[in-house]
Chain A
Amino acid sequence: MKNHAEPREKARPFIAHPAVGRFVAILATVSGVFCLIVSILLIANYLQIQALDPLNQPELLALRQRLAEAPEADPALVEPIRVMDLLARKAFFTSQAHLHMGGMLLLAGVIAFLIALKLAARCYPRPPAPVGSKDPDRYWNERARTKEILAFAAVVLAVAALIAAYLTPLDIPGPARAEPSAVTEVEAAPAAFPDWEAIQRQWPSFRGPGGYGVAYFDTAPTEWDVATGENIRWRVEVPLVGFNSPVVWDNRLFLTGATESVREVYCFDADSGELLWTRAVPAFPGAPETPPKVSDDTGYAAPTMAVHGERAYAIFGNGDLVSYDFEGELRWGRNLGMPDNHYGHASSLIAFGRHLFIQYDEKRAPRLIAVDAETGEEAWVAQRKKISWASPAYIHTPLGVQVILNSERDVDAYDPESGRLLWTVECLDGEVAPSPAYGGNTVFVANEYAMSTAIRLEAVGAETKPAIAWEYDELLPEVASPVASDRYVYIATSLGDIACLDLETGKTVWEQEFDDGFYSSPVLVGDRLYALDLEGVMHIFGAGAEYKLIGSLPFGEGGFATPAYLDGRLYVRTQKSLLCIEQRDDSST
C-alpha cells in the first residue's frame, strides 16, 4: 500500500486555498457568463430558423408562384427572384456556420467553466464533519416515512397510469374489422333477383347489361326526326337536371336529378313517358350538413341508377344511397359519408346476383362496397388505392363473374361474392373517368394521359392471369368509355374523334373525325355503333372494318348521358328532356 501517498492525497481535498480560490472564482464567473451568452444566442438562432426558414421565405415563394403562373419568363419577376434566392442561400449557410461555431464555442466555454468550478470547489472545501446530533430514532423514523411515501407514490403512479389509459383509448377498430366480412349465409339465390338471362334483356345500369356498352337487342331505331316527330314515341321534360343516364326495366324508366339541396328519384312509364312518381331523398343520419363541392361538369346527380329485379338504386354526390321499389316505396337508404372528391362523385351503380356494387373511390378511403341488394346491409368492402370517376362493369369468364373497376392507376377485378381481389394490372394514369370495355376475353381500358391497354385474360387453373396484349396512345378518351366487340374496339374522344382498333393487334382500322366531342359513351348495338356527341347529334355507323355512316340525327339539345337501347327502342336523356324513339317496322337492319 502506498502509505506515503495516502496522507498527502487525503489532506489535499480539505485544505482551503482562498487566494487561488478568488482568482478561480472570477474565471468561473467569466466563463459561466460566456456560456450563458452563447447558449442564449444559439437558442435565439434556432428559434429564428424555426420561425422563418431562410429557404422558404413567403416572399420568395410567392414570387416563384407568380413566375410559374406567368405565360413566359418576365424579367421583372426573374431579377428579384435571383436576388432573393442568393440572399436566402447565404442566410441559410451563414446560420449553419453560426450554429456550428456556437456549438464549438459553447463546448469550449463549458469545459473552461467546469474546470474553473471544480478548482473553485477544491479551493473552498467542506471538511468532513459529522452532521449535527443524531436522534437515535431518526434512522427508523426515516425508514418508516420512506416506506409510507414509497407506497403512496406507487399507488399514485398506478392510478395515474390507469386514468391516462382510460382517457386515451386507442382509436383503431378491433380485429373484427380486419377482414372484409363475407356474407356467411349460403342460401339459394333469391327468386327476387334476376339472373344474367333476364338482366341481358333490360338496360339495368350505365352502359347496359354488365356495364360494358354492348346491347342485347340489335333492333334499335336508325331513323327519326325530332323536328317532325317521326318515330318519336314520347318526349318529356325532366324536373331537375343531372348527367346520369336512363335505366330501364320492363316498362319502368328511372332517372335522378339533383341540385345542391335537393335530390330526387324519378320513375317514368317507359311506354308513355308519364312521370309515375317523384321521390325526394330524405336526410339520413351522418349526411353532411353542407353539400360537397362539385364541378359544373359533374353536378350532384352524375351517377347513373341501377335497377335489379324489382328494386331501383340511386346514389348522389353527397353520399346518399337509396333503394326504392317500383311503387316508389323507400326500401332502405343511408349515407355513406361525404366523399372527398374534387370533381364530385361520379361512379355509377351496378348490381349482380345478391349484391349492389358501389365504386366509392374517393380520396381519403377509396373502396368498393358491396351491399345486400335486398336489405342494404354491407356485405363486404374492398379497400382500394386511388380515386376515380369510372364505373364498374362485370364480365362472365370461364372461371366465373368478375367485377372490373378502373382507378387512377390500376384495373382491378373482384370476386362479386367475397370481394377478393382476383387480379390487378397497373396501367392507367391521369384522372380516370372512362370505364372498362370488354370483348373477346379482353378487357380494354383507356384514358387521356395514359397508355390505353388491352388486357387478355387467361384462365390458368383456378386463377385468372391477366396479360397486357398491346398498348395504344394516339386517340384517347377523357370521359366517354370505349366499347369492344369480338374483333374491334371503339374509342370516342372529347375532341370528336372516333377510332376503331383491331382487338387482337391494336392496329388502327379506321379513324373518323366529327365536329363535336363525345362525352356520352358509344354503344354497340348488333352490327352498328351509336355515338351521341355533345351537341346532341347521334351518329350511327356500321361497326366493322370499314367506316360506314348510317345516319347523323340531331336531338336539338346537348347530349351527355348514354342512351338506353332496347328492343326497337332507344331512350335518350338530353340536357333537359327525356325522349323515347321507337321504330317498329322492318326497315332497321
Chain B
Amino acid sequence: MKPLDRRDFLRAAAVAAGAGLGWRAASPKPGAMVWQIDPQTCVQCGRCATNCVLNPSAVKCVHSFQICGYCDLCGGYLQPGAKTRDTGAESQLCPVSAITRTFVEDPYFEYTIDEDRCVGCGKCVKGCALFGNGSLYLQVQQDLCVHCNECAIARDCPADAFRQVPAEDPYLLKTRPAEGGPPV
C-alpha cells in the first residue's frame, strides 16, 4: 500500500467538494417522494390505464363516500342514456364491472369499487364529474406503484395532474368540508 500522497489529498478533496456542492445545490431532503394525482386537475383522459409501466395500472378509482350522493341515478355507475337503473351489464358504465351497486335504504344506493378489477380508465370518474358530485376519482395506489423516478403517466398527462408528494402523506383525497366551507 502506497502511503497517502498529494494526489490522494486531491482526490479526497475532489470527492468532498463534489459531495458538498451536490448537497448545497441539491438541498436533499431525507424523505422520499411519491407520485400522486391531483383529482381537481385531472381531466379523465384515460391515459392512466394505458401509460403505467405496470399492467394493470397502479392507478385505481377511489370513492369518497363523504361526498357521494348515494343516488339511484348514478352518473359514474350508469351509462349515459341507460334505459333501466339496475345492475345489468347493458346499463353499466364500467367496462370491467368494477363498481358494485348495493341498495342501502330508500332512495340511497351504495357504490363500491372492486380494486382488483379496476383498471384506472377513468370512465366512471368522468361520468361522476359530469353528473354527480365527483366522489369517484383516480388515485395512484401506493402499494402497487413502483415509484419510478419519472412516472410514465405523469409525463403524458394532458392536464399535468401528477404531483410528487411526501411518502408519509401520499394521497390527495377529496373530502366534504364542514357546513359552509369550500370543498376540497
A positions within 8 Å CB-CB of B = 55-56, 64, 67-68, 70, 72-73, 77-78, 81-82, 85-86, 89, 92-93, 96, 99
Contact = CB atoms under 8 A, between A and B. Distances in A.
Interface string B115-137: 00100000000000000000000
Nearest to A103: B55
Contact of A78 (B55, B90, B96, B117): B90
A99 B55 contact: yes
A81 B97 CA distance: 13
Given A67-B90, A78-B90, 16 more contacts: A55-B95, A56-B95, A64-B90, A67-B83, A68-B79, A68-B81, A70-B83, A73-B83, A81-B90, A82-B88, A85-B89, A85-B90, A85-B97, A86-B89, A93-B117, A96-B56
Identify the 3 closest CB pairs spanning chains A and B, nearest first.
A73-B83, A85-B89, A81-B90
Given A73-B83, A78-B88, A96 B55 contact: yes
Nearest to A86: B89
Interface of B: 55-56, 79, 81, 83-84, 88-90, 95-97, 117
A73 B89 contact: no
A564 to B, nearest CB: 42
By secondary structure, the B interface counts as loop
Contacts of B117: 93
B146 to A, nearest CB: 14
A180 B90 CA distance: 50
28 contacts: A55-B95, A55-B96, A56-B95, A64-B79, A64-B90, A67-B90, A68-B79, A68-B81, A70-B83, A72-B83, A73-B84, A73-B90, A78-B88, A78-B90, A81-B89, A81-B90, A82-B89, A82-B90, A85-B89, A85-B97, A86-B89, A89-B95, A89-B96, A89-B97, A93-B96, A93-B117, A96-B55, A96-B56
A96 B56 CA distance: 8
Nearest to B90: A81
Contacts of A68: 79, 81
B96 A92 contact: yes
Nearest to B117: A93
Contacts of A55: 95-96
Contacts of A72: 83
A582 B6 CA distance: 108
B144 to A, nearest CB: 13
A93 B55 CA distance: 11
A303 B95 CA distance: 45
